[in-house]
């Protein structure tokens, strides 16, 4: 069913989204019960391939293009100081984006975060857990970690979104992020991420974990941000440029 949907089998002649056959008809075609086929359709819904409407006889193919995620835009200079990074990324892709803050809390850093931030054993971090929503679909999780000694008592730990962006708060605290190191790792979504992304219980998907460690001007690691980017909802694109060197004639 995934292959048939991605091959546009269920679209109208003009390319507009069409409907799947009913769960009963599909079940007959595949030798499955209606209940089993309904579970298949729920899985297709969790992957963002179809959606259902009250009263409709079958699921409808969803018009959904993966978000083109451009991490290098974090350090773009041409931006409003009151616009956060995620909003700029989504607007640059001509999409509609909102964010849902799932939690702002304090916790003891796990071994990976402790190592990336050069923390002492047992040191705590401030944590901001956010789910980013693109065109009405939860696209990816976006979780940030900073040493508590840096952000304790600041706006960084306020519940809800910070209008001017949490990176601006870090800059005001003397830790402007000027450099980042990104690490990409394939894995399956966790049950907690399934819940936050609306995938449903037991519907783990292949995903890319993008872990970005941000450094200040003194070369100190300040913030770790983990994005969990499920397949089909996100595409990560990096842009690279060859340095331009002046020729002898240009410098003469």
Q: Domains in the chain, please, with CATH? A: 2-61 (1.10.10.10), 67-236 (3.40.1410.10)
pLDDT for the residue numbered 104: 97
Residues 23/43, Cβ–Cβ less than 8 Å: no
Q: Are 89 and 73 in contact (CB under 8 A)?
A: yes
pLDDT on residue 123: 95
Distance, in Å, from the CA atom of 78 to the CA atom of 237, rounded to the nearest integer, reads: 20
> Rounded to whole angstroms, how far apart are CA atoms 121 and 101?
28
Q: Where does the chain show beta strands of DSSP type E?
A: 50-51, 60-61, 67-69, 97-108, 124-134, 137-147, 179-188, 206-215, 221-230, 234-236
Confidence (pLDDT) at 88: 63
Residue 171's Cβ-count burial label (10 Å; 0-12, 13-18, 19+) is middle
Coil, helix or strand for 85?
helix
3-state class percentages of the chain: helix first, strand second, coil last, to nearest 5 = 30, 30, 40
- Amino acid 82: pLDDT: 47
The low-confidence residues of the chain, meaning pLDDT below 70, are 73-89, 91-94, 246-252
| Predicted TM-score of the model (pTM) | 0.77
């Amino acid at each position: 069913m995934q292959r048939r949907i991605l091959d546009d089998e269920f679209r109208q002649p003009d390319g507009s989204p069409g409907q799947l056959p009913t769960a009963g008809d599909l079940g007959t075609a595949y030798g499955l019960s209606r209940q089993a086929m309904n579970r298949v359709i729920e899985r297709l819904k969790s992957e963002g391939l179809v959606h259902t409407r009250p009263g409709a006889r079958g699921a409808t193919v969803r018009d959904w293009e993966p978000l083109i995620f451009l991490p290098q835009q974090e350090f773009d200079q041409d931006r409003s100081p009151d616009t956060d990074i995620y909003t700029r990324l989504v607007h640059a892709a001509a999409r509609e984006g909102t964010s849902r803050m799932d939690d702002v809390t304090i916790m003891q850093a796990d071994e990976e975060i402790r190592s990336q931030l050069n923390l002492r054993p047992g040191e705590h971090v401030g944590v901001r857990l956010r789910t980013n929503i693109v065109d009405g679909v939860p696209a990816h999780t976006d979780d940030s970690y900073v040493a508590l000694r840096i952000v304790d008592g600041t706006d960084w730990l306020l519940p809800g979104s910070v209008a001017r962006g949490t990176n601006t708060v870090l800059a005001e605290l003397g830790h402007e992020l000027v450099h980042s190191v990104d690490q990409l790792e394939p894995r399956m979504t966790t049950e907690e991420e399934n819940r936050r992304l609306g995938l449903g219980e037991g519907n783990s998907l292949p995903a890319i974990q993008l872990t970005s460690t941000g450094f200040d001007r003194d070369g100190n690691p300040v913030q770790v941000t983990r994005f969990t980017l499920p397949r089909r909802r996100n595409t990560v694109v990096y842009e690279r440029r060859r340095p331009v060197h002046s020729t002898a004639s240009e410098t003469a």
